[in-house]
Chain A
Amino acid sequence: MHRVFRNKTAIFLFVFPGMLLFALTFLAPIVLSGYYSLTDTLGPGTKVTMVGLDNYTNLLFHDSKFWLALRNAVLLGIGFIVIQHPICIFFAVLLDRIGGKAEKVFRTIFFIPCVISVVVISKMWLSLLDPTFGLVNKVLDVLGLDMLKHAWLGESSTALGSMLFILIWAGFGWGLLFYYAGVKGIPEDLYEAAQLDGASGLKLHWRITVPLLSPVITVQVTLAMITALKQMETVFLTTNGGPGDSTQFLAVYLYNKAFSASQYGYANAISILFIVVCLIATYLSNRLTRSDATEY
């Protein structure tokens, strides 16, 4: 066996199919995209004229929508990290402490939004937030808080906030599951030892749980940034970037440029910058949250 693994030809044979698949499904499209991003084509098959870096200069220096879309994505990422994740950790610890039957029941309940199809979630929130027939406004009515009523997803002032809320809500279950698994992996004797040393309550979790969750947090922060940047389906199905451009996100903008405006070359330029932004975000979040792995 060892001989086989030391044989260079064997290694090559084993690795090659995977590499080939990677090259065909990841690298080739990116290279092709890079090529199209230098043209002003309306789509594959139409006339291709090279325009050099025009698409990129337009994007970076003359396209406020691109920056708006990027800003919204970053806001969403921050929303995930600052709002969603602390709540997830809190509930993960709660779940772990509750124990017994209740633990299983709540675990299931919290994960339900992740099992529902994105289309259903989008349509559900559209009706919940409907200005005339939606539950949210009806409840406000009943509570006598009429002045707080809004066409939530239909007004420029509230659309982005509502959208972030929906996305944070929808992603809650996944975050919870990751942190819950992390919490479950922390050995009980550490807590016992800490309790003997006099730590309790919040302090116990702040000193023991959170530090020991750091590998999970690192992964989660990276994933959150990428999820935020890649956000597409819910926005597309609810507001399609509107009203105006208030909920414009990169992927939706890219899609509309390619398929509604037939600016295929331009859309490819967006997608290349999109990749660059994702790589930078991953690198940064890895750098910022890097910590030594904890062994126990």
Chain B
Amino acid sequence: MVKHSKWARASILTLAIASVGALSACGGSNSSNTASDGGSGGDSGSGKVTLRFFSNLPDRKSGQGLAEQTVIDHYMAENPNVKIDVETLAEEPFKNKLKAYMSSNEPLDITMVHGGAELNTLVQAGYVRELDPKEYEGEKYNFLPGVYKSFSFNGKLYGLPRNSDYEVIYYNKKLFEDNGVKVPTTFTELLDAAKAFRDKGIAPMSINGKDLWSFGEMFQNVVQRYSGDQNLILDAVDKKKKFTEDENFLKAAQFLQQLRDVKMFQDSFMTADYGASQNLFTQGKAAMWYMGSWEAGMATNESLPEDFRNNLGVIQFPVAEDGKGKIDDLLAWNGGGYALVSSSKHPEEAKKFFDYLMSADQWAKTAWDTGAAVPAQKYELTGKESEVQKTLTDILVNATSTAGASFIDYGTPKYKDDTQNAFGKFFSSNEKPEQLLADLQAAADSQ
């Protein structure tokens, strides 16, 4: 039939074209839009400089993203010859793309970096510039003591921290009150709270299980609560101790097993990324959220329901009844920060902006005043702080000891990957605590 064969020819032709399109799409062109107006060429005539800024804060309207953007806008207003192009991606894609940029030596100017293992790779590739710590002493910057730990390698400094990071539990006061649940201060109370919320059909605690790293922080928290020693787990990463031998590790792993058994985390925790776990909590569907001090901005974020903001509370990680750790021992470190990129096309302009950004009266002040985060620099209380901010400050100021590093970031990137996957395996199956410890030990041995 003529009609049919015409159809056939047309269909096959369309298919052929479409499949060529589809196949070539698989190759995936990775040209970045921001790259095209990188600036050195056309702009140089008028003396205008375009700086490329890469950040892990896609939300520019609230919290840390807003604080970051505010500083950038200030700088551009004060320096009309400088334009700052901001490229942002969410946490996990950001980390991956930064490595891709590193591989191709992309001429970024300033980038957000994660201290520890992630930054170490960038340092080894020579992708970030060394900084002189002497320049950042004194009043202008006002960094708290000991905050360079995750940003220094072989005694050299490669980035500056932007926050004091520490793990806390955010909780929904209303959910606790309405259901008559006691806000937990001990492990037993934490488990009881989980059972009580489960009975009411509410998810006790939200966690970003897909990203895996929160499990690591929690394990470190629990180990400290049993041992009372902040350095034990870091020593285990350094192979001075063994995960499989110290009984504090076993107790901690057994406690994680209990958390798993009482269904502490939301049902979808293994597929929940950062945003999904946060949404669950901010929409009042989970009673607690295990996250860090960098989320202080939730209390002032107008895009969140007012009812939620008014009921947002913060507590320290509970203590073990039979453990040596105190409630004021804090799992604190300096994780996020900024670094200068060595392949920058405008190294001097980039450095000027970087110094401006890191001045105590810019990032630190803006972040604190907007309630976005707890800075790694000295800041002054304005009296207008949110309740959450005041509690977070108290927690930090009253800390009797701090960890100084997050153990998953204390080894190589491979170590981090292996360790995180061990936790993922443990929480998504019925694996025994002993097996988890064996996996952690294997990760430490093979790094």
Contact = CB atoms under 8 A, between A and B. Distances in A.
A261 B7 CA distance: 51
Nearest to B276: A126
B447 to A, nearest CB: 10
Interface in B1-29: 1, 4-5, 7-8, 11-12, 15, 26-27
A25 B24 CA distance: 12
A226 B243 CA distance: 42
A61 to B, nearest CB: 15
A240 B8 contact: no
Interface stretch (A176-184, A203-211, A281-289): A176-184
B417 A47 contact: no
A262 B412 contact: yes
Contacts of B12: 181, 185
B121 A43 contact: yes
A218 interface: no
B428 A154 contact: yes
A177 B15 contact: yes
The CB with the most chain B CB atoms within 10 A, among A44, A246, A259, is that of A259
A151 interface: yes
User: Could you say which interface size class chain B belongs to?
Assistant: 35 or more
A132 B26 CA distance: 35
Contact of B267 (A132, A187, A264): A132
Contacts of A245: 421, 425
A247 B27 CA distance: 23
A243 B11 contact: no
Given A243-B424, A262-B413, A184 B8 contact: yes
A37 B325 CA distance: 46
B125 interface: yes
A130 B417 contact: no
Nearest to B423: A244
The CB with the most chain A CB atoms within 10 A, among B4, B100, B209, B412, is that of B4
Given A184-B7, A239-B210, A244-B425, A45 B127 contact: yes
A239 B424 CA distance: 11
B423 to A, nearest CB: 10
A260 interface: yes
B180 interface: no
A9 B69 CA distance: 59
A151 B203 contact: no
B429 A244 contact: yes
Given A132-B268, A243-B270, A260 B96 contact: yes
Interface of B: 1, 4-5, 7-8, 11-12, 15, 26-27, 95-96, 99-100, 102-105, 117, 121, 124-127, 203, 209-210, 212, 266-271, 285, 412-414, 416-418, 421, 424-425, 427-429
13 contacts: A43-B103, A44-B102, A44-B103, A44-B105, A47-B124, A153-B270, A177-B15, A185-B8, A239-B210, A240-B210, A258-B99, A261-B413, A262-B413
Interface of A: 25, 42-47, 126, 130-132, 151, 153-156, 177-178, 180-181, 184-185, 187-189, 230, 238-240, 242-246, 255-264
